[in-house]
């Protein structure tokens, strides 16, 4: 397996103006990571001149662009808003194509909304996801649905099956299965169910000790589950703990993560 980091891990540092995307790339290289996950929120520009600089910086720092991460909220009742989100995902797929990223992360939306909307909403979400997958197919990019917004393993796997595209895989977030941001023993079962269709893993960390391990999410148990399913992709750190010194926390996490290769 390979190591990566989502720029979301530094979102407060970005917001405080203490780091920008280019500086973050240098930090990831110094951490000894194999790759980076470029979150849409943290692009200062998507103009061609900036993307050229970004792409070259990753090459110079020997960092693979593991994924470009878009958003999406396809479970809304508003058809126009859903269509606008598909179009936004298309724009990030164009960025990913230029950068040479093989994956684009997207969200389907809220698990509760999906359940409450019944068959009518489900069918609309399915159509939208088929459009998203067509975007990926046209660019040779896999669209990686994340279990975000309280979506369950059953929901994301059902959508994967019903959309039926070879360009649809999963961004498996270890901490997002309900109840989100909490460890429960059944999360290992959800991870195992999703692992065979996973393109990248969001390795969630919340409560990080001095050795870089999370006090609740035991990656010595999670890693073998992924390996058994044949997963050889990126473990992309996504820190969502409360420590304001994200840089110090990620230095501990990266040291530990590098032992999981």
Q: Tens digits of per-residue pLDDT, 106-157?
A: 999 999 999 999 999 999 999 999 999 999 999 999 999 999 999 999 999 9
CA distance 69 to 255: 24
Rounded CA-CA distance 200/54 in Å is: 22
Q: Domains along the chain?
A: 2-260 (3.20.20.150)
* CB within 8 Å of 122: residues ≥ 6 apart: 114
- At residue 148, the pLDDT reads 96
Residue 96, H or E segment: helix 79-99
- Give the 3-state DSSP-derived string for 150-169, with helices as H, strands as E and coil as C: CCCHHHHHHHHHHHCCCCEE
pLDDT of residue 96: 98
Bridge partners, residue 215, by sequence: none
Average pLDDT of span 189-202: 98
Which 3 state secondary structure label does DSSP give 227?
helix
Distance CA 236, CA 201 (A): 6
Q: How confident is the model at residue 82 (pLDDT cuts 50, 70, 90)?
A: very high
What is the rounded average pLDDT for all residues in the chain? 97
Share of the chain above pLDDT 90, in %: 99
236-260: pLDDT as tens digits: 999 999 999 999 999 999 999 999 9
Which of the four pLDDT bands, split at 50, 70 and 90, describes residue 208? very high
| Res 115: pLDDT | 96
Q: How far apart are CA 233 and CA 198, in angstroms?
A: 9
Q: What is the pLDDT of residue 138?
A: 98
């Amino acid at each position: 397996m390979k190591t990566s980091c989502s720029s979301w891990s530094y979102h407060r540092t970005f917001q405080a103006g203490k780091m920008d995307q280019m500086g973050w790339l240098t930090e990831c290289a110094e951490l000894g990571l194999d790759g980076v996950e470029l979150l849409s929120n943290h692009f200062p520009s998507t103009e061609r001149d900036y993307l050229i600089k970004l792409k070259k910086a990753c090459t110079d720092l020997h960092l693979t662009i593991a994924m470009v991460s878009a958003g999406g909220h396809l479970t809304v009742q508003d058809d126009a808003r859903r269509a606008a989100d598909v179009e936004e995902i298309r724009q990030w797929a164009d960025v990913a194509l230029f950068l040479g990223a093989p994956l684009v992360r997207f969200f389907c939306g809220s698990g509760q909304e999906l359940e409450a909307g019944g068959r009518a909403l489900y069918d609309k979400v399915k159509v939208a996801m088929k459009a998203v997958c067509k975007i990926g197919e046209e660019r040779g990019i896999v669209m990686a649905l994340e279990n975000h917004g309280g979506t369950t393993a059953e929901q994301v796997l059902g959508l994967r099956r019903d959309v039926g595209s070879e360009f649809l895989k999963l961004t498996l977030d270890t901490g997002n299965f309900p109840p989100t941001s909490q460890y429960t023993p059944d999360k290992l079962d959800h991870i195992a169910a999703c692992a065979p269709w996973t393109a990248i893993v969001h390795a969630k960390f919340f409560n990080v000790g001095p050795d870089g391990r999370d006090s609740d999410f035991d990656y010595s148990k999670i890693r073998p589950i992924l390996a058994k399913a044949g997963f050889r992709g990126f473990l992309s750190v996504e820190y969502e703990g409360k420590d304001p010194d994200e840089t110090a926390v990620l230095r501990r996490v990266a040291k530990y993560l590098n032992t999981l290769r």
